[in-house]
Amino acid sequence: MKTLCKISLVGIVGKDPDVRTTSSGLTIASFSLATEHHKKKDSSDESKTTQWHQCVSFGKLADIVQLYVVKGSKLHIEGTIEYQQYEKDGVTKNVTKVIIQDMIMLCSSERPQAALVVDVAQTAQLDDGIPF
């Protein structure tokens, strides 16, 4: 029996990505992505709910996020969901993260451009890590 854990989101980046590098040289970029859910209460009333998703990318994809993703960028991301738990001040906190595997830049508030498809498998083969 096969199983699948995959998520696909189209949304707007809430703030500039937080980028850091580990002691081993691995780049990690994280940012929040807002999506909207429209729900009709009745035939004339529609409500809109914004959901925030914590997204994380690693390696060459994180380098690309650092260079091209800014607050207001519209992205289509695909990845997996990771659930984590930690304790702070005696309170257990639950965190859900989207680990990005593929990304399409639909547009950016500061750098409008044609859609840019970023495939991690392809970028791993490039010398400079930039897929264009």
Buried b (16+ CB within 10 A) or exposed e, 92-103: eeeeebbebbbb
Stretch 72-95: mean pLDDT, rounded?
94
In a domain, residue 132? The reply is no
**Is the four-CA dihedral 54, 104, 60, 12 of positive or negative sign?**
negative
In the structure, what pLDDT confidence band is assigned to residue 114 with cuts at 50, 70 and 90? very low
According to the model, what pLDDT value does residue 50 have? Answer: 93
Q: Which CATH number is 70's domain given?
A: 2.40.50.140
According to the model, what pLDDT value does residue 35 have? Answer: 95
- Among residues 48, 60, 80, 73, which one has the least CA distance to residue 122? 60
Per cent of the chain over pLDDT 90 is 68
According to the model, what pLDDT value does residue 118 have? Answer: 52
**Does the structure show a pLDDT above 80 at 123?**
no
In a domain, residue 129? The reply is no
All residues at 6 or more sequence positions from 57 whose CB lies less than 8 Å from its CB, including other chains: 28, 29, 30, 64, 65, 99, 100, 103
Between residues 99 and 117, the one the model is more confident about: 99
In a domain, residue 1? The reply is no
User: Are 85 and 93 in contact, with CB atoms under 8 Å apart?
Assistant: yes
**pTM for this one?**
0.74
**Does the structure show a pLDDT above 70 at 80?**
yes
Stretch 10-39: mean pLDDT, rounded?
95
For the chain, give the mean pLDDT. Answer: 84
Residue range of the domain that includes 104: 7-36+46-123
Number of domains into which the chain is organized = 1
In a domain, residue 101? The reply is yes
In the structure, what pLDDT confidence band is assigned to residue 43 with cuts at 50, 70 and 90? low
